[in-house]
Structure 1
């Protein structure tokens, strides 16, 4: 009977642990022995394309860890150790986020990768076994807009700008701090692409080894998806607060009670002079009219009572109404077929999700798959399951528990 993927991963992970504890010239136990990929990295052997892909992963991680170290020691460390405060504590926090945690993770991952003796399967297992730890990137990515804003503020100050330039000169960096602070955002979204190159050039696309490579791709694809999703939710939460502050004539509850902001857009409305600005939340549709920088409340419909009527005569038009007041329709015209398609898809989805009766999941999917617009699902892993499995639970706005031993400012 074939071992399940999780058992195989644990076996490989144990080998990786032993390799780290018993460092030898070969690095990975069995790299010169019985493993079918043992020839990789053998002296005198001409590197294959797969060899070069694996080497690129290790070398790029080494460069990345070095860049992170330069931020932590060459910028953050100098700011903390300065006799006279150069930046305010809140500026330091916004500027660097949890960069020390990111550096610590990258350094540990690099040690693991260097122990793999150029074995692509061992490299893949490194990412599977450390998948939970990548949750710390959520906090960094959510904070990144604040980091950009803090750096912009610093560059307006002659004293702070001069200090940062001096740090750059000491490090002999051709690029300023801002370019280095972007690197973690770029790196976390690239891991699954690098692993895909391993799979693409893997010689035997069958068996346990190839399955482990695919598992690593799935894992890091889910990580990238989750971080992008958390970043989107964070941005939408900020936008939701902004809408609340600009809304005139609204006497209902706080907009956060309607769940996450899903879509917003402006539509031409029939039988009225002005366009309508729509905000679709998880639990309600808010209909407003623009007045300068503000939004004037016109109507709202709970998604549990929402009715969608699609026009068969005009490809851009559709109507919305409360199912108890079907004659009081809001007839709208989208700017493009694609915009209408996206809106009607999400409206259908939320009507189904908020329906008072329990609708089987397969029935919901069957209805939504009838749309031409249907977002592809990740085939081999569930991002929801990944979120639940991460032991680093979000704190507030996507923050996570910090790793131990951080240097405090």
Structure 2
């Protein structure tokens, strides 16, 4: 356990070396005001792990049944990683401007092997390793014959958080959108499609587009071609559809991977965007989410027009659809044999995935 802890301490010391040197020796004039963006909320992540989360995870080494509830309980707190990832594209942009000059000088002064951007990616990698640990633990939990409901919920949580992290990093790389992205509601989907636009009788050539589905807006963007000299991935805004003008046609020519989004213009004309997904599953997920958005919009309008009737229907629906499931009881006592299997499974999960134990358990404290 000493080596993993040592490696993570080295990572934190390296970052602190950059921060301390930048603070004491100053930064380039044209970088002033940008230095805090470079590190984001990494101090918040580090302090919480060091002061609290490491100790809680270590308790799971002797009480493995605590692990699932630990991640479920702290789902909201783990969203500090989402905040970090939301800032990451801005951080990458600033670091890329100075990586061969200012930050290279700092690296040599500090005697570090890794560059700054190699260190700043560590929290992004870390959030994925929580998921790996829980999935491994679920495998051994199942072999032990235990109830996996709570652990499956924990896995679900730690699949959702990394997805949100990835979503926020991609949204942060969107360029040229003049509106306020945070005002568009939750990001529900994002995928790359082959898109054909039809305006009146004109049919555009099929183009690759990264499409973002928010609660209030659909954004079409063009991926930046890294072969053309761009050092960082990104997207350039091309078009959008307000949800208030949005329509959907679930399938096109019996092609299960193809669907149409429509945009209704003020003059009553309609623009059709034909989207070809990489799989039917992606197509179905998008159509389902768009239909749900439109249903919610329709219900909202109905509530405004006939509030009493709407409340009456909602009350009836809630009374019929209320879940009858009893609340989860306290965890059942674990018999010694099953407890031994769990402890063995926990150990095997860690030993079979050394990267997880290196970056996740013994090294959780420093970040």
Matched, 1:153 2:112: no
Q: CA deviation at 1:275?
A: 5.1
Q: CA deviation at 1:86?
A: 6.2
Q: CA deviation at 1:197?
A: 1.5
Q: Secondary structure at the match of 1:186?
A: helix
Structure 2 CA distance for aligned equivalents of residues 255 and 226 of structure 1: 20
Corresponding position of 2:163 = 228
Structure 1 CA distance for aligned equivalents of residues 83 and 89 of structure 2: 11
Corresponding position of 2:19 = 76
Corresponding position of 2:124 = 185
Corresponding position of 1:100 = 43
Q: CA deviation at 1:98?
A: 1.9
Corresponding position of 1:205 = 145
Consecutive unaligned residues in structure 2, runs of 5 or more:
222-235, 303-309, 318-327, 329-367
Matched, 1:348 2:277: no
For the 8 Å contact 2:197–2:271, the answer to whether it is kept is no
Matched, 1:267 2:196: yes
- CA distances 1:64-105 after superposition (whole Å, capped 9, x unpaired): 6414422343322233233x5468453431222222222222
- Structure 1 304/216 Cα, relative in aligned 2: closer, same or farther at 3 Å? same
1:109-188 aligned at under 5 Å gives the runs: 109-114=53-58, 118-122=62-66, 126-127=70-71, 130-157=74-101, 159-167=102-110, 169=111, 173-188=112-127
Structure 1 CA distance for aligned equivalents of residues 70 and 242 of structure 2: 49
For the 8 Å contact 1:141–1:231, the answer to whether it is kept is yes
- Structure 1 67/303 Cα, relative in aligned 2: closer, same or farther at 3 Å? farther
Matched, 1:196 2:152: no
- Structure 1 201/182 Cα, relative in aligned 2: closer, same or farther at 3 Å? same
- CA distances 1:138-168 after superposition (whole Å, capped 9, x unpaired): 22121222222222222242x442122221x
Corresponding position of 1:33 = none
1:3-402 aligned at under 5 Å gives the runs: 60=4, 62=5, 65-82=8-25, 84-85=26-27, 88-108=31-51, 109-114=53-58, 118-122=62-66, 126-127=70-71, 130-157=74-101, 159-167=102-110, 169=111, 173-202=112-141, 204-206=144-146, 215=150, 218-219=153-154, 221-226=156-161, 228-229=163-164, 232-233=167-168, 235-236=170-171, 239=174, 242-244=176-178, 259=185, 266-269=195-198, 271-274=201-204, 282-283=215-216, 302-303=243-244, 306=247, 308=249, 310-312=251-253, 316=258, 318=260, 320=262, 329-331=270-272, 333-335=274-276, 338=279, 341=283, 344-355=287-298, 356-357=301-302
Q: CA deviation at 1:194?
A: 0.6
Structure 1 CA distance for aligned equivalents of residues 170 and 261 of structure 2: 29
Report the count of equivalent residues: 278
- CA distances 1:3-58 after superposition (whole Å, capped 9, x unpaired): xxxxxxxxxxxxxxxxxxxxxxxxxxxxxxxxxxxxxxxxxxxxxxxxxxxx7xx9
RMSD: 4.7
Q: What's the TM-score once normalised by structure 1's chain length?
A: 0.52
- Structure 1 268/184 Cα, relative in aligned 2: closer, same or farther at 3 Å? same
For the 8 Å contact 1:72–1:100, the answer to whether it is kept is no
Q: Secondary structure at the match of 1:201?
A: helix
Q: CA deviation at 1:185?
A: 0.7
Q: Secondary structure at the match of 2:202?
A: coil
Consecutive unaligned residues in structure 1, runs of 5 or more:
1-54, 246-253, 364-379, 381-409
Q: CA deviation at 1:309?
A: 7.1
Higher alpha-carbon Rg: 1
